[in-house]
Amino acid sequence: MQSDNNDPRHSDLHKLIKKYYNQVIRDKALQGKALPFHIKREFERYLTCGIHEHGMVRFQCGICSKDKFVAYSCKGRTICPRCNGRKMADTAKHLLEEVIPVVPVRQWVLSMPFKHRFMLSSDQKLLNTTLQIFNRAISGHYKKKAKSKNFKLSQTGSITAIQRFGGSVNLNIHFHTLFMDGVYVTNEMGE
């Protein structure tokens, strides 16, 4: 029923995780440690994502009566390229159509040094504080430029996506921040 080109079990990532996941769990257990529940859940859901044998829905065309079977997805937000890609596309569409005004936008990226990545990944308060400092620095840059052109009481606008993994599924905390490339100011009419 499932064609080979749509079967995620043929991807290199799926093969690697399937091959080594249980060994990692056993190695951790021998060390008296365990992966956090949410990490185990992500891996276990990923191993069933897009595979018909783990659940699917059937759609039927009302005109030609052809069937289409679509496998359930894990809706993962970390390691699953299918679900992560879909989530990114949906979020980008929402931001473009509903949130970001039609103004120039600039992306700023802050990557963390290797020695700080684990600390930031396990301390939400530190991660939030780091993001606040990053946003204040960029916002200050825009406000300083506005002040030099005699715009007072300017405001900036930004949206940040915190990415936790790199392309090699390695821990790589970094921020992708979209800043409106300029400032908002109140005009003479108070608008």
Percent of the chain with pLDDT over 90: 36
Cα gap 131→3, rounded to integer Å: 44
25 in Cβ contact with 31 (< 8 Å)? no
For the chain, give the mean pLDDT. Answer: 87
pLDDT tens by residue, 101-127? 899 999 999 999 888 988 998 899 999
Strand, helix or coil for residue 60: strand
Between 79 and 27, residue with greater pLDDT: 27
* Phi, psi dihedrals of residue 57, rounded to the nearest 5°: -125, 145
Dihedral sign, Cα of residue 64, residue 70, residue 75, residue 78: negative
pLDDT for the residue numbered 78: 72
pLDDT(159) > 90: yes
The structure's pTM equals: 0.63
